[in-house]
Amino acid sequence: MIDRPDAATLLKAMAATLSDEVLPTTSGGTRHAVRIVANLCRILERELAAGPAAREQTRQSLVLLLDRDATLPELVADLDRTLQGSASIDDTTDDANFDARVRELLLADVERRLAVDRPGYAS
C-alpha cells in the first residue's frame, strides 16, 4: 500500500538520468536547460528531506521575535511591515537590539535555505 520508489529516490534517479544520459547528447540552449532541470531535481530532493523542518524553525523564531503566532507567510509579511515602519524611527538602543535579532534570524533562515538551494555557499 506504500508506493516505491519514494519521491526522494525518484528525484535522485531523474537528476542522474538527465546528467549522465541526456546531457551528453545535447548542446547550446537545450544543454543549458537540461543542466538547470537536473539541478532543480537535486534541490527538490534536498527540500523534501530538510524543507518542512527548516521552515518550521524559521516560523518559530519569528513567533519569538514578533510575539505572535501565525503561519510563516503571515509572519514574514509582519516582519516586512515592521522593517518598513522602522525606516523612519530614530536609532534607539531598543531598535539596535531588534535590528541585531532580525539579522540573526534572517541569516539563520538563509543558511537553512542555502542547504537546500546551494549547499556549500555559506561557509
Q: Which residues bind another protein (CB under 8 A)?
A: 32-33, 36-37, 39-40, 43, 73, 76-77, 79-80, 83-84, 86-87, 102-103, 106-107, 110-111, 113-114, 117-118, 121-122
**Residue 115 · residue 53 · CB < 8 Å:** no
Nearest-approach distance from CB 3 to another protein, in angstroms: 26
Closer to another protein by Cβ: residue 5 or 118: 118
Closer to another protein by Cβ: residue 5 or 36: 36
Closer to another protein by Cβ: residue 48 or 79: 79
CA 21 to CA 42: how far, in whole Å? 16
**Residue 107 · residue 53 · CB < 8 Å:** no
Cell numbers at 121, concatenated:
555557499
CA 89 to CA 87: how far, in whole Å? 6
